[in-house]
Every structure is written in structure tokens, then in C-alpha cells.
Chain A
Amino acid sequence: MPEAKFKCLRCGHEYTGSYTPGTPQELTCPKCRSNSVRRLPEKKPAQKD
């Protein structure tokens, strides 16, 4: 399963976790147990010309 960065919008805790693309999962912040967890968009590497 691919990994992604997640950010808790309650306590601000950022962590890396796995996710299944296309399948919503119940996300829980490992620190504060809130479900307001947002998957941060992946930063695309700069393209070389």
C-alpha cells in the first residue's frame, strides 16, 4: 500500500501512514484520536528540462 503524509487538523500532529487509493478509510490521529485527519497532497518532484 502506498504511504502518504497526514495532518491532524485538531492538534496539528503530522505523521506518515499507508492508505488505499480510491477507498476512503476512517482516519484517526494517533496523538489526539481526532478524526479530522487530512491527507496532505504529495509534492511532485521538480521536472528537469
Chain B
Amino acid sequence: MMDVGRHPNITLYSYSEVDALTGFVGNFHVTIRRKARYVVESECTACNDCVEVCPVVVPDEYQQGFSSRKAIYIPFPQAVPSAYVLNMEECLGNNPIACGKCAEACEKKCIDYDMQDELISIEVGAIIVATGMEVYDPTELDEFGYTRHENVVTSMEFERLICAGGPTEGHFLRPTDRETPKTIGFIQCVGSRSENRGNPYCSNVCCMNTVKDTLLLRDHYPDIEAKVFYIDIRAFGKGFEDLYKRSREGGVKYIRGIPGEIEEDLETKNLLLTVENTTTGQLEKHELEMVVLSLGLVPRHDGDLLKRFLTLSNTSDGFLMESHPKLKPVDAPTRGVFFAGCVEAPKDIKDSVTQAGAAAARASILLNAGKVKVEAITSRIIEEKCNYCGICARVCPYHAIVEPDRKAKKAPVVIQAACAGCGTCAAECPQDAIEMRHYRDEQYLAQIEALMAERPHEHIVTFACNWCSYPGGDDAGTARLQYPTSCRLIRTMCSGRVDEDFVMHAFRLGAPIVLVSGCHFTDCHYISAVQWTQKRVERMWNKLERLGIRPERLQLDWISAADGQKFAKVMRELEEMLKTVTMEEIKHTMEVLSNGKAEKKATAAKKAKVKVKKKTPTKKAKVE
């Protein structure tokens, strides 16, 4: 931190938040709110005079509440800059000044009660998101008695208790009697690897953190008997297995099983753990003087704003999703944005440093190049057709389309550097006023016509996305999985590109079944484009039903790139469905969609419904 603070090329904005963020790769505009610290940091020498006279005493968050601090304080000893912060919510009041002792004590007159938040605008070419994570709150796991039993502490609290800079100056004491415990237990996977409570994922760092803690205890307090209760120890990093072995050889007992209950002896304040040892199959009871809950890691609760600013999405565990898990693990799906540390997934210090180095290198490459090469698959607005409705701007997962100005009759503008080419805008545009370069509507319609040229009633028209479903078909092929030959694939960059016109055209030409397939929601390579696919397919199901066509004939499936099994299974199931579609049904569909009258009628009926909705003053018409 000191190096960062002193580096001539780094401007550090501490005690600040991102207030707004717009723009695109190479041209991000960031508004930073520098919160008022009520202390002139350039003048403050951290002499401590103000702290000594401050009458307000509150729990110290950094020391996990084991010690106290004043309302004017330095958040933690290594904070950069080394200047005080006055917490105005805790201060006795500055308007009118109710105390003012800190200002009186400060010789350099650094205290400024009139200081206001400052907004700073900066322009940057690349952004590295390194906002970290939080730890799981174990209070919901009542069986462990955290907050009920004083001697049950979390791994974070344990760190403070054993740290030389902690509240006990490195003397390891248990909270109730301020004595060094003779027995201690560590419970692993608290808040991790549980489908019912906490989180289903492994938090990656807890096992090795506990192994490290047991070694620390053994070195400093060899008489303490330590027991670790675990599901399984995951020591997969370099040198980790050796550490684990050292811990076992040092006398730490590893018991496979998570305690179901912790009771407290009211007299001694010792803890009685009931656990099923899954190695022996026996129910065991262990009396310990102290228990440490090894907490899992969770995404930050305040990360949504940044996600919205940068059009980022998250994986099912809530951490931010990278552009590609194997090939671009440091890049965000939004160009010019990179990840470092636990914001992307739980990871230890070594991995965080590695990723931070990679992110810095990726950003440097981008900035040094001075220009970016983008795929030519971007959208183009056909201004003559545009009616300035703005749907395209609202559906774009990358916010790459500048909203049109209906009054000034100004068509939307596509920021070419930000457009990723998913095609959702083109598929959603009701006026067909957007063209995707290299993936134009005419090209898709021609492909459909070619597929339907011979024996159309025998073919399942399958729209497969470039990143998941199409490779899923490849996977089925390379694994030599058998699936019916009736499948006819049309590759789209994203399932979001599948226009209603494509599906209806296939039905119009005699397709018995049409399948739209894409990535799973959490794998979508275009942030949220796949969600628009689902909405559109739902709309098409309703439309088909209005036209008297069985909605079942339009199928939807999310197939991942490694799921050749599912691809083959879906194709086999659709082959069975195909047999249920009669020639009369196909002819009826072709007639209904060819004369256009019924289709227009269905569209008109839908529009009439929308009009009725618009008349209701409380409801706003929404883009589906």
C-alpha cells in the first residue's frame, strides 16, 4: 500500500466511491465521490492528539469489536494515507458544534467540520475491478451458537486474537476468562458447500487458512490441543499438502464430520460438540475451551451498482462472470474491463496477486496499443426504417446503443467499440431497422430456404449459438454420440439473434419443429442476451397459439459447449416429437403464415391488448 501511495504514476483515491461510470473501452468517464473525512489529509501528521481528547468510544471494526476506537480514528494501522477520519455519524455533532475537542487539540488545524464530499471526474481507458468479497455471517447457523456462546469465534476474529497487532497484542486468550485455552476446535465449511443454508460452492481458502492457524498455534502454544472438524480437506495448491502433513504430524487431530450441535457449560463456559465421525461411524462428544468457525467467502452485498455501471453479470454463485473461464479468465465481458481478486471468485492471496498482475498486463496492452481492434460483427442502424422507439438501446446488454431522440427524429447510434455483436437489438427491432454486419437477415432467411428446399417436413430447424449450443453439437459428434439425422443446424453468434421472422419463415416453408438453443443463463457470452431469447420465445409461443398453431412445435433448450450428451438427447426427443406433427398440421401452418391475414390479425389483436394496457394510467407499457 505504501508503494502504491508513493508511486508517481498512481493516483490513490482512498475513502472514495464510484458515483457514476459511462463510456466504453478506451473512453470511460468515471465520477468519483471523495467522501468528506473532516480532516485535511495533506496537513495531518497522525500525531494522535485528536484521538486522545475525543470522548466518543465505539467498537473497532478492524479488531472485530474486541477493542474500541474513537470517533476520529485511522481505520487500520497500515492505512494509506496515514491520516485520520472523523466519522460524523458517531461524532457528537458539528452543526452546531457540540464538542469540538479534536479541533482544539489539533495544533496544525487539520480538522475541518465544514468539509463536503467532493466529486471528481476522470477519464480512463481501462478499468480493473478489484472490489473483493465479504465473509459469510454465521448467525443463521444456530447449531453453532455463534453470538450465543462467547467462546465460539469466527476465523476473522481468531486472526485478530492471535495477531501481534491485535487487541491482545498477540497473546491468544479466550473471550470469557481472558485465559489461553487448552483445547480448541476448528469447524470447516461454515457457510460453504451447503445447498440448504449458506452457499453451495467451496470457498477455496478456508481449509488452508485453518491449516495455517493450527501451525501458528503449534509454534506459539505447543500445549494447546487442536482439533479440526471437516468434510474433506482441500489442499491442492503448491506446497499446501506439505503444510497439511506438517499440521497432522504436529499433533493436530483431523476429524471427518461437522458438529451438529454446540452446547455451553454454563459454569466453565467450555463447549460441548456433538459430531458424527464419518470415518468411524461413531457419534462423538468433544469438550473444547474454544471453537473457531472457518467462514466461507461471499460476494460483496454492494456490488450491484458497479455491475450496472459496467454491464457485468454474475455466475450462479454471485461472483462476477469472466469473459471466458479458460481463455479470458481476467477479462470482463465488457471490453476494457478486467478483474483482480475475489470479485471474480473466492481465491487466496497468491492467486489474487497472479490475477492482479495479469489484469494489469492486459490493461497495459490495451492502453499501449492506443486503439482497439473489434470484430466486424456489429450492428448498423438503417435510419430510413427507424421509428425512434428506442427498444434497441434498452435491450442492448452492453449499453452500446445511444438512445434515439424521438422529438428531434434522431436515430439511435451504435458505439462500434462497445458493440459485441450479439444481435439482440436486430432481433428485437420491430421495424427491422437494424442490420448485423456479416449476419444479415437475408443471409439467415436464405439459409432457412436452402434447408427447407427438399423434404422440409422431415427436418428439425435448429438455431444454435456460436459459443455453447453449436460446440455442444460438435461435442456430441466428436464423442460419436448417435442422434437423428433430421437435425439441421443454423449457427448464430448468440441465441439473442434469432429473430421471430426466422422462426416464422421456417414454419412458413414447412418445418415441423423449430429449436432455438443457446447458452445457459449463467454462461451467456453476451451478458444477458439469452434472457431476451427466452422472452422472445415466450412471445412466439403466445403468437403461435393465437394463430392456432401448437406452441410445442417451437422448442427451447440451453445446451453448454461440453454437453454433447444433452444435445444428442434433445435431438432424439425432438425426433419423437416430429413423428407427432401431421402433414395436415404443417399445411395448415404454411397456409396461415403464407397468406399473412391470420398473422396480421393476431398481431392486431395483440396491439389492441397493448393499447388497452396503455390506457391504464398506473401501468407503464414495458418492452417485453
| A interface, CB within 8 angstroms of B | 9-10, 22, 24-27, 32, 34-36, 38-39
Contacts and interface: CB of A to CB of B under 8 A. Distances in A.
A34 B573 contact: yes
B558 A26 contact: yes
B90 interface: no
Q: Which 9 A-B pairs have the closest CB atoms?
A: A24-B531, A26-B521, A9-B552, A36-B556, A36-B555, A35-B557, A24-B534, A35-B558, A35-B556
A22 B541 CA distance: 18
Contacts of A9: 541, 551-552, 554-556
B538 A10 contact: no
Contact of B538 (A22, A26, A32, A39): A39
Contacts of A25: 521
A10 B550 CA distance: 12
A36 B555 CA distance: 6
Contacts of B556: 9, 35-36
Nearest to A22: B622
8 contacts: A9-B541, A9-B552, A24-B534, A25-B521, A35-B556, A36-B552, A36-B557, A39-B538
Nearest to B528: A24
Contacts of B521: 24-26
B343 to A, nearest CB: 23
Given A26-B558, A35-B557, A36-B557, A10 B573 contact: yes
B608 interface: no
Contacts of A38: 538, 541, 551
Nearest to A28: B558
B443 to A, nearest CB: 27
Contacts of A36: 552, 555-557
Nearest to A10: B573
A36 B538 CA distance: 9
Nearest to B520: A26
B535 interface: yes
B58 interface: no
Contacts of B535: 24
Interface of B: 520-522, 531, 534-535, 538, 541, 551-552, 554-558, 570, 573, 577, 622
Contacts of B622: 22
A26 B573 CA distance: 20
Given A10-B555, A26-B520, A34-B573, 16 more contacts: A9-B551, A9-B552, A9-B556, A10-B577, A22-B622, A24-B531, A24-B534, A24-B535, A26-B521, A26-B522, A27-B534, A32-B573, A35-B557, A36-B552, A38-B538, A39-B538
Nearest to B566: A33
A28 B570 CA distance: 13
A34 B554 CA distance: 13
A35 B556 CA distance: 6
Nearest to B556: A36
B456 to A, nearest CB: 21
A35 to B, nearest CB: 5
A25 B253 CA distance: 45
B540 to A, nearest CB: 11
Nearest to B541: A38
Contacts of A32: 573
A42 to B, nearest CB: 14
A27 B521 CA distance: 10
Nearest to B558: A35
A9 B622 CA distance: 26
Contact of A34 (B522, B531, B538, B557): B557
A7 B558 CA distance: 17
Contacts of B557: 34-36
A12 to B, nearest CB: 8
A39 to B, nearest CB: 7
B149 to A, nearest CB: 35
Nearest to A27: B534
Contacts of A27: 534
A2 to B, nearest CB: 17
Contacts of A26: 520-522, 534, 558
A34 B515 CA distance: 12
A10 B538 CA distance: 14
Contacts of B570: 34
Nearest to B576: A10
A27 B545 CA distance: 20
A27 B520 CA distance: 10
A27 B551 CA distance: 16
A34 B521 CA distance: 14
A27 B554 CA distance: 16
Nearest to B538: A38
A45 B4 CA distance: 65
A32 B551 CA distance: 18
A7 B387 CA distance: 36
A1 B557 CA distance: 25
A10 B554 CA distance: 10
Contacts of B551: 9, 38
A21 B102 CA distance: 52
A25 B538 CA distance: 12
A8 to B, nearest CB: 9
B405 to A, nearest CB: 27
A44 to B, nearest CB: 14
B324 to A, nearest CB: 20
Most B CB within 10 A of own CB, among A25, A34, A36, A39? A36
A4 B551 CA distance: 19
A27 B556 CA distance: 10
B11 to A, nearest CB: 38
Nearest to B515: A36
Contacts of B558: 26, 35
B551 to A, nearest CB: 6
A25 B530 CA distance: 10
A13 B538 CA distance: 17
A35 B552 CA distance: 12
Contacts of B555: 9-10, 34, 36
